[in-house]
Amino acid sequence: MTASFAQRCGIHDAAREDALQRAEQAIAAGGLELVRFAWCDLHGVTRGKTLVASAAAQAMRDGLGMVSTLMLKDTSDRTAFKVFEPGGTASLPGFGFANNLLLLADPASLRTLPWTPATGWVRAQPWFEDATPVELDTRRVLERALERLAGRGWGLRCGLEVEFHIYRITDAGDQLDPAQAAWPGLPPRVELVHPGYNLLAENWYDMAEEPLRIVQHTAQALGLPLLSLEIELGPSQVEAVFQATDAMTAADNMVLFRNGVRQALRRAGYHASFMCRPPFPNIMSSGWHLHQSLVALDGGANLFRREQPEPGATPAQARHTLSALGEHYLAGLLEHARGMAVFCTPTVNGFGRFRPNALAPQAVLWGRDNRGAMLRVVGACGDAGTRIENRIGEPAANPYLYLASQIHAGLDGIERRREAPPATEAPYATGGVMLPTGLGEALAALRQDEGLVAAFGAPFIDYFSRIKQCELQRWEAAEDKDDFQRREYFSRF
């Protein structure tokens, strides 16, 4: 019998065969007519193909063709490499002339989509046709980072707090008018679902309950560990909080949540935006706060937990709350903060959030339960929930790259046994090391960070930088910056 493509890739074992058979049974039992094969691109957007249900199982064995230029797109969907010119993809082995990649789906990821009838969904990743993995795929980047942790017997546990905006669509004409079609196109016209400036207001929650119910039902139907939905300070701004999971599950959940609720809300006449700062004069920036702790793979113990403060340590010292391992990890996050910033905040728009007294960070600092600091240490001695919260992320970040950057930075701090400075009590004071103030500065900081370049690999850093540089160049050339952000981010993210 000829080996399937999945077998040639070395991933089709007995467990995968069992999962595939269960998926086939679920497709039949659920009366599914279509199955979407979805892949997360560099920008955190899901792409893929939709198959009739009878073709899904075979595609999970033999792969599904995908044009390789999908991995080379910037945020406008323009290809950042000259794929049809000699040497245009010389830095990208396996790519060229818009050749094919093959998507292989994980049958265990099958879900029934709650917002569209008789449709299943599976998560897929790209492979080269010679059955070798595409290492530039961002989910594979996180897999490699987690392998570094697993080699030490550790895993990463993450909790997500995600702020975003929901608007009611008043007129989709601009977006769907063929006479105004452009690349990229306009978003729909919208109005607020609550007026804002009344944090956690029950009245505003009641006003926004219809779209928040859609978010709730969508997340729960997809099996996501949603804990709460909250009214944030800004007009039409909300927050979703999720129970902590292992890092890969957290990243997968973020991809599914972000893309799923946008589609479900759109069908009901709403526009959800995970853009940090929507293009309106009176808004509040949205952040993605990432809670993290290292855990033992054997038993799940929290490796940041300390039973008693280190003798002589003051509350301003990390070892008053964190284990020695936790302090080294914290110090690594601080030392690589400028280099990792572009993975946490990857858009031109997101850097507008870093401003004083805005519950957002501005400098490379940590604090004990301090929401103005970049890193917030949460917990106390004996607390199994002791963790570090990174507050520099924007909700449009690619989850796999965001989490991978934490692992590589934290591990470097551990390997070099770095010590953290004292906690800040003045997160907006002047004179400290500042976070990058724009995409160009952030890209330069990444390229200058030798530790992160080595951890991610120079080929990936070059690839990522090339694509983000195209976005930056178009931003710098745009005469109307607001129009750029409406089309580039608000319409698509």
**Beta strand pairing call for 375-378 and 154-171:** unpaired
C-beta of residue 323 within 8 angstroms of C-beta of residue 408: no
> Do residues 460 and 144 lie in contact, with contact meaning Cβ atoms separated by under 8 Å?
no
Binned at pLDDT 50, 70 and 90, residue 146 comes out as very high
Predicted TM-score of the model (pTM): 0.97
State how far the Cα of 170 lies from the Cα of 192, in Å rounded to an integer.
10
Q: Judge whether residue 269 has pLDDT over 80.
A: yes
> Rounded distance, CA 262 to CA 271, Å?
7
Tokens found for residue 483: 């129009």
pLDDT at 34: 98
User: In this predicted model, which residue has the larger pLDDT, 227 or 432?
Assistant: 227
Distance CA(74)–CA(492), nearest Å, equals: 12
166 Cβ neighbours under 8 A, 6+ residues apart: 193, 208, 211, 212, 215, 236, 238, 265, 270, 271, 272, 273
Of the chain, the percentage scoring pLDDT greater than 90 comes to 92
Q: Which two tokens stand for residue 75?
A: 């945020």
Element (H, E) at 468: helix 458-477
Tens-digit pLDDT profile for residues 275-329 = 999 999 999 999 999 999 999 999 999 999 999 999 988 989 999 999 999 999 9
| Contact yes or no for 101/126 (Cβ under 8 A) | yes
pLDDT band at 356; cut points 50, 70, 90: confident
* Maximum Cα interatomic distance, the chain, rounded to a whole number of Å: 71
- Residue boundaries of the structural domains of the chain: 5-134, 147-490
For 147-490, which CATH superfamily applies? Glutamine synthetase/guanido kinase, catalytic domain (3.30.590.10)
Which CATH superfamily groups domain 5-134?
A: Glutamine synthetase, N-terminal domain (3.10.20.70)
Is-same-fold flag (5-134; 147-490)? no
Model pLDDT, residue 76: 95
Structure tokens at 481: 């910056």
Q: How many CB atoms lie within 10 A of CB 465?
A: 16
Question: 166-188: per-residue pLDDT in tens?
Answer: 999 999 888 989 999 999 999 99
pLDDT 10s digits, 403-421: 999 999 999 999 999 999 9
What are the phi and psi torsion angles at 173 (to 5°)? -60, -45
Three-state helix/strand/coil letters over 9-45: CCCCCHHHHHHHHHHHHHHHHCCCCEEEEEEECCCCC
- The CA distance from 395 to 261, in Å, is 13
Cβ atoms of 349 and 276 within 8 Å: the answer is yes
Helix (H) or strand (E) holding 366: strand 366-368
Is pLDDT at 358 greater than 80 in this prediction?
no
Calpha distance 213→229 (Å, rounded): 9
Confidence category of residue 369, pLDDT binned at 50, 70, 90? confident
C-alpha closest to that of 211 among 186, 240, 233, 184: 240
Helices (H), 351-457: 399-415, 439-448, 450-456
Distance, CA of 420 to CA of 313 (rounded, Å)? 13
Residue 463's pLDDT band (boundaries 50, 70, 90)?
very high
Alpha-helical regions (H) of 114-178:
138-150, 173-176
Go through the chain and tell me how many residues it has.
Answer: 493
**Residue 97 — left, alpha, or beta (φ > 0 → left; ψ -120 to 50 → alpha)?**
left
Cβ–Cβ under 8 Å, residues 291 and 250: no
Classify residue 417 by burial, with Cβ atoms within 10 Å: 0-12, 13-18, 19+: exposed
Report how far residue 27's alpha carbon sits from residue 21's, in angstroms, rounded to the nearest whole number: 10
